[in-house]
């Protein structure tokens, strides 16, 4: 959905294992946002989402900030204006890891998604880890087999493969084989982020930033090759 020359907020795509030592980029993002972050544990709806929020709260408190959970767990929740209003006014929104397919089904066509896009275009920071990172892109890698489906599309022509260093990205070969022309497939290790700055430039940060890989049209490329 981005267009060349359009200024947006910052976007951080995290490879998983969020909110733990090694995620040093969180301190920078938190400072930019004034010390507050809104956490959506939507992807972890069936995996004790309150625990994800508690982990985020402890992590961001250790960085001198404050995290607040927004329990958007179903599509009905995501269509409520009270939740959308919170997202719309946030300076930093973080989507947790969990099930990308559940996250996609909850947010697609919702008021919360509209609010997230509006906040980002107005300059807010948006971060997604693992499932969150996958779903924010279009196309999105389908975790059931490594092919592609339609994502939410904050950024287009970009697909994320998380957990690149953990063995969980076992469908990577299929994902690369099936990649449509012009789609940058970005494999991101855990506790590592690929960050899109407001001017559209990309950079890597975190524990294993040197291990981020980009494949575009069958070739290994640099981060500069990722579409803005």
pLDDT of residue 225: 94
The dihedral built from the CA positions of residue 13, 16, 22 and 28, taken in this order, carries a sign that is positive
Stated pTM of the model: 0.94
Per-residue pLDDT tens digits for 206-223:
999 999 999 999 999 999
Q: What's the token pair of residue 156?
A: 């287009």
**Residues ≥6 apart with Cβ < 8 Å to 146:** 171, 172, 173, 174, 175, 178
Topology annotation, domain 11-225: Rossmann fold (3.40.50)
The yes-or-no verdict on residue 157 having pLDDT over 80 is yes
pLDDT value of residue 107: 98
Instruction: Give domain limits for the chain.
Output: 11-225
- Does residue 160 contact residue 212 with C-beta atoms inside 8 Å? no
Task: Compute how many other C-beta atoms are within 10 angstroms of the C-beta atom of residue 172.
Answer: 17
Confidence of residue 5 (pLDDT cuts 50, 70, 90): very low
pLDDT band for position 1 (cuts 50, 70, 90): very low
Contacts of residue 26, defined as CB under 8 A and 6 or more positions apart, other chains included, come to 19, 59, 60, 63
Q: Give the model's pLDDT for residue 177.
A: 87
Tokens matching residue 154: 């904050």
Q: Provide CB contacts within 8 A for 173, sequence distance 6+.
A: 146
pLDDT of residue 175: 86
The pLDDT tens digits for 92-149 are: 999 999 999 999 999 999 999 999 999 999 999 999 999 999 999 999 999 888 889 9
Model confidence pLDDT, tens digit, residues 160-210: 999 987 665 566 778 888 899 999 999 999 999 999 999 999 999 999 999
User: How many angstroms separate the CA atoms of 52 and 5, rounded?
Assistant: 36
Tokens encoding 211:
């291990």
- What single-letter DSSP state applies at residue 26? H
């Amino acid at each position: 959905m981005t267009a060349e020359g359009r200024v947006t907020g910052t976007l951080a795509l995290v490879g998983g294992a969020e909110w733990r030592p090694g995620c040093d980029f969180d301190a920078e993002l938190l400072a930019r946002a004034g010390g507050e972050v809104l956490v959506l544990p939507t992807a972890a709806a069936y995996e004790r989402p309150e625990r994800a929020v508690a982990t985020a709260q402890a992590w961001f408190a250790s960085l001198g900030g404050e995290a607040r959970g927004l329990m958007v767990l179903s599509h009905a929740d995501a269509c409520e204006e009270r939740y959308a209003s919170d997202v719309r006014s946030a300076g930093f929104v973080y989507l947790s890891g969990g099930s990308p397919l559940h996250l996609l089904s909850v947010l697609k066509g919702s008021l919360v998604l509209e609010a997230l896009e509006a906040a980002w275009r107005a300059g807010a920071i948006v971060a997604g880890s693992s499932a969150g990172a996958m779903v924010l892109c279009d196309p999105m890698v389908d975790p059931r087999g490594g092919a592609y489906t339609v994502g939410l599309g904050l950024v287009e022509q970009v697909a994320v493969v998380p957990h690149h260093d953990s063995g969980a990205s076992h469908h990577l070969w299929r994902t690369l084989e099936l990649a449509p022309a012009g789609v940058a497939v970005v494999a991101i290790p855990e506790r590592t982020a690929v960050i899109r700055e407001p001017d559209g430039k990309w950079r890597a940060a975190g524990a294993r930033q040197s291990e981020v890989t980009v494949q575009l049209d069958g070739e290994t490329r640099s981060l500069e090759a990722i579409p803005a």
